Amino acid sequence: MLRLEKRPQPSAFWTYATPVVAVILTMVLGGILFWFLGKPPVTAIKTIFWDPLFGDFAFYYRPELLKKAAPLILIAIGLSFGFRAGIWNIGAEGQYIMGAIFGASVALAFYPMEARWLIFPLMIAAGIAGGVIWAMIPALLRVYFKTNEILVSLMLVYVADVLIKAFSVGLLRNPDGNGFPGSRNLKQYPSAANLDLWTDTGIHWGVVTAVFAVVVAYVFFARHQFGFNVRLAGQSPRAAAFAGVNPNRLVLVCMALSGGLAGVAGMFEVAGPSGQILGSFPAFYGFTAIIVAFLGRLHPVGILLAGLLMALTYIGGDAAQSAMNLPSAAIQMFQGMLLFSLLSVDVLTNYRIRLTTAKVA
C-alpha cells in the first residue's frame, strides 16, 4: 500500500523540481488529450512549445512572446507579495481591467493627443491608480470589517468586466466609429501609444517595466526589511506579531502593490497590443498570473521564467489552433492542466510516498 508521510522539513529538491516535473506531466497529459481529439500528440506538443521559438515563423512569434509575457509577469510579481504574506488577492483580473480603463480615459481626455510628452506618464499613473483603487476595496473591507478578501476581490472582477463593456459602448466609445463599440485606437496617436522601442522586437515599456519589477522584487525579498516582514507574516503570523509587524498595514501595502502592478499591466496592454477599450479586452491575464506566480514558486526569477513559459502556451496554442484545427477549449484545458499538475506534484514538497505492507486481519 502507498501512503503519504509528512516530512520534518519541506524538501529543498522538490521545491525546485516540482515546476519542471509539472511541465513534463502537463505535456504527457496534454498529449493524451490531443490524441483523444484525433490529433498527433507529438506534433501538437511540438507546435506549442518548439515552433514559436525555433520554427519557420519564429521571427514573428518571438516578439509576440514578450508582449504576452509582460502583463503576466507584472501581475504575478504583485500577487507574490500578498501570497507570501498569506493575503489572497484573487481579483487581479479586475484590477488589470480597471487600470486599462483609467489609463485609456486619461489618453482620450487629451484627444486629439498632439505630441505631448506628459500624456504617457499620466496614463501610467492613472493605470496604477485604477488598480490600487480596485484593490483597496477588498483590502479595506478585510481590515475594518474582517471580510474575506478572496470573495470580495473575485466578485469585483465581474463588476470591472461589466464596466469595461459599458464604457466601450458608452462614455469612451469612438464618436467617429459609425456606432461600433470600442474607443479610439490609441496606437494611432504617438503620445499615447505603447509601441515597440525597437522595431519588431516586441520590447515596449511594459516589457521593460516587467523586468524592472522582477529586479526590484528580488531586492525586496532578499535584502529589504519589508520583504522579511512579508515572508515572516506568511510563515508565522504569531512570530510576525511579536516582531512588531502590523498585519493591517501589511494587508493594505501588499494589496496596493498587487493592484498597482496589475493596473499598470492593463494600461500598457490597452496602449499597446490591444490599442483600445473593448468589451472583449484581452482577458484572463489576471487569473493566469496566479498560475504563473505559483509555478514560479513566488520567487521573482521563477516568475520571470514561468511568465515566459505561460506566454509560450498562449502563442503556441494559437499556432496549434490554426495549423492543426484544434478547438480553443482544448488549449484552455491544456493550460489548466499545468496548474493541476503543479498542485498534484507539489504534495511531494511536504510529503514523501511510503510503501507499506497491509496487515491481514
The reported pLDDT for the residue numbered 112 is 82
- Is the pLDDT at 319 greater than 60, yes or no? yes
Question: Which cell is 5 given?
Answer: 508521510
DSSP 188: G
Quick one: average pLDDT of 162-191?
92
CB 278 within 8 A of CB 167: no
Model confidence at 216: pLDDT above 80: yes
- 229 is written with which cell numbers? 516582514
pTM of the entire predicted model = 0.93
- The predicted pLDDT at position 98 comes to 97
CA distance 171 to 183: 9
- Asked if CATH classification 3.40.630 holds for the domain at 72-317, the reply, yes or no, is no
Between 324 and 356, the higher pLDDT residue: 324
Region of poorest pLDDT, from 100-114, 258-272, 294-308: 100-114
196: confidence class by pLDDT, cuts 50, 70, 90: very high
What is residue 92's DSSP assignment?
A: H
Q: Considering only residues 236 and 94, tell me which one the structure prediction assigns the higher pLDDT.
A: 94
User: Residue 70 burial (CB < 10 Å; 0-12/13-18/19+)?
Assistant: buried
* Sequence-distant (≥ 6) Cβ neighbours of residue 99 within 8 angstroms: 126, 127, 128, 130, 131, 262, 263, 264, 265, 266, 267
% pLDDT > 70, the chain: 98
> Is residue 168 predicted with pLDDT exceeding 80?
yes
Where do the structural domains in the chain lie, given as residue ranges?
72-317
Question: What is the band of 359 on the pLDDT scale with cuts at 50, 70, 90?
Answer: low
Confidence label for 22 from pLDDT (cuts 50, 70 and 90): very high
